[in-house]
Structure 1
């Protein structure tokens, strides 16, 4: 034990060297940091200083003095900000593509009409919904006319709401699209032509080849009002993975989503859209709801078909009717309010012959949220 006691200091003076070690190490670290900072200013190395000091008030430091940052700290923040903008830009296209594939919203599936599957209840609900206008217009545009008239015109196949706040201003561009393969859009084309719209008609069939036909290209008519640009294209409701918006004039497949078409033609807004999609309308409408494109459509004239479920729509009759109703309510949630409804020929609904319903209806909506 006597030998061991000699190893320990007999007084407090022996502790002084031990107490000096931490300050010496701190001084060395500060010298290294200062050297790196000098090298960084000379372009030798770039790094970001992470402060471990207590956070100070944004209004001032201790004693009330206003806080100020050194120039090199501001330069580091600027450099970091530029880096983050570059990263965000790199991911922007990918995020946009993902949004177009999955959609910024999910279409809500409505509850059963009577809390359980019932064909009569579901049918009654949907027929009531599509035959009762939701928007009363003091002026309307009938088929083939470009001058507003007073309602009612119950025999018209469709009626555009001609309220001033719903129509494009005279000095602003007017864009109109028509998707039809049976020539039933002639009156619509006449009306939007009289309004001075730039018109694009889409038809994938070979029978529509005519003067000005553009094949399967997407090319603008450079704002020529009243001129109909023909496109051998059709609407798709599936956004192919890995595909970006096609640029103006690009060649490609015969089917495109509405978002692709508008982007390719350089259109942010379509003021008037006519669609007779031959039972593909339900999936197309669902796509429009989910990708959020309907906020850019001001007037929609579309024929809905009820004689069968439609392309890629499955389930029992009750489930199909509930799906159709969910799609219609989704359109309403996006701002489309029913202006006019007219029934087509036939009385077959999902292969059931019913005198109280028709096989198709042509519906006219106006977007009150644009």
Structure 2
């Protein structure tokens, strides 16, 4: 060192330059650790020890981060009776050991699980315009095409007023229920049917589901003898009385309350309630047959079912859609209303409903405009293919 100092001081490299040369190797080593080090996967975090000659790996989730309540809502629709309790619960964290799913955790999802997640609660997706620019005729043609083209062919059906399945009748009835065996309630499963109607048009529907020994509930806010003898708007089930209809002075609500409260069975406290709350009060997890004629409120009700995931609990749906005017709380230009209607129908389809039958009503008025190739209303029959 003394020799170097003497040499450096006698015309060799300056002392400062020599010191810098000595610092270069450690600097390069530190730089390499900073750049390459973070890219190396650590196996210790997943319970895998690195061994010489083996490649360490880590399990990475590509699922976007979201709150525990959102994860639960996407995987399955909670039972309405338990909804208030589940809002405070959190889903278990996923812990992975040796690349395997631990008990009680969902590290991976098979195809069916992912499929079920996609049909849970979802915002209504507004469809693109039928043409390059808003067009009444283009939007109307698109929605009429949907309303008049069944998507599911059933070899056996239940016709109005008949409880025995048969081949599709030659004459087109008002509605049809698909009676394929895999779409009907199992013999050991209690059958449940609801009907929301104020004009008595559900008489044949009630006769059919009563003949199937279903537990039947009818809802009509104008019925003075509602609730099957029960007072006010209270709800009572008729378990064990297959075919006997219970009447309720109640109607469907599409506006979900801001803060949901746990509903006690048998009493909801209001004459207008969501379908999920009515089912919870009656103690039902499934409605096998649902009939609705909501006098133009159907569009917002359908939207609420799509967005809440309620349709997962409905197996068959018979509904009348009205086109004379936009409907309750639906606004916009005629083109915007038609696009909204079509978006709702697409949302029903995305939720699992396939159109089985379509029957045109009277009149040719669409949004207060006379249209020769369209009708003022259509009664549609759907089957839920997700059951």
Using the size of structure 2 for normalisation, the TM-score is 0.70
Aligned-residue CA RMSD (Å): 2.4
Number of the residue aligned with 2:47: 58
CA pair 312-349 structure 1, distance change in 2 beyond 3 A: same
Number of the residue aligned with 2:265: 248
2-structure distance, mates of 1:214, 1:145: 32
2-structure distance, mates of 1:202, 1:56: 57
Tell me which protein shows more helix as a share of its residues.
1
Number of the residue aligned with 1:220: 237
Using the size of structure 1 for normalisation, the TM-score is 0.73
Query: Which aligned pairs between 1:204-353 and structure 2 lie closer than 5 A?
Result: 204-206=221-223, 209=226, 212=229, 215-353=232-370
Query: Aligned-pair distance for 1:58?
Result: 3.4
Does 2:147 align with 1:158? no
SS at match of 2:87: helix
SS at match of 2:257: coil
* CA distances 1:4-47 after superposition (whole Å, capped 9, x unpaired): xxxxxxxxxxxxxxxxxxxxxxxxxxxxxxxxxxxxxxxxxxxx
2-structure distance, mates of 1:57, 1:232: 58
2-structure distance, mates of 1:146, 1:272: 13
CA contact (8 A) 2:228 2:246 kept: no
Number of the residue aligned with 2:159: 142
CA pair 121-211 structure 1, distance change in 2 beyond 3 A: same
- Number of matched residues? 286
Number of the residue aligned with 2:34: none
Query: Aligned-pair distance for 1:104?
Result: 2.9
2:86 pairs, out of 87, 92, 100, with 92
**Structure number with bigger Rg:** 1
CA contact (8 A) 1:213 1:229 kept: no
SS at match of 2:378: strand
Stretches of structure 1 that go unaligned for 5 or more consecutive residues are: 1-53, 63-88, 97-102
Query: Aligned-pair distance for 1:94?
Result: 4.9
Does 2:192 align with 1:198? no
* CA distances 1:211-269 after superposition (whole Å, capped 9, x unpaired): 54553012211232101011100000011122324221114111000111111111111
CA pair 152-56 structure 1, distance change in 2 beyond 3 A: closer
Stretches of structure 2 that go unaligned for 5 or more consecutive residues are: 1-42, 52-82, 91-119
Query: Aligned-pair distance for 1:92?
Result: 2.9
2-structure distance, mates of 1:274, 1:164: 20
CA contact (8 A) 2:84 2:261 kept: no
CA contact (8 A) 1:185 1:274 kept: yes
1-structure distance, mates of 2:316, 2:177: 7
1-structure distance, mates of 2:165, 2:46: 64
CA contact (8 A) 1:214 1:232 kept: no
1-structure distance, mates of 2:376, 2:326: 11
CA contact (8 A) 2:226 2:248 kept: no
CA contact (8 A) 2:316 2:381 kept: yes
* CA distances 1:99-144 after superposition (whole Å, capped 9, x unpaired): xxxx931111110001210000000110010100000000111000
CA pair 154-316 structure 1, distance change in 2 beyond 3 A: farther
1-structure distance, mates of 2:344, 2:168: 28
Does 2:109 align with 1:115? no
CA pair 61-322 structure 1, distance change in 2 beyond 3 A: closer
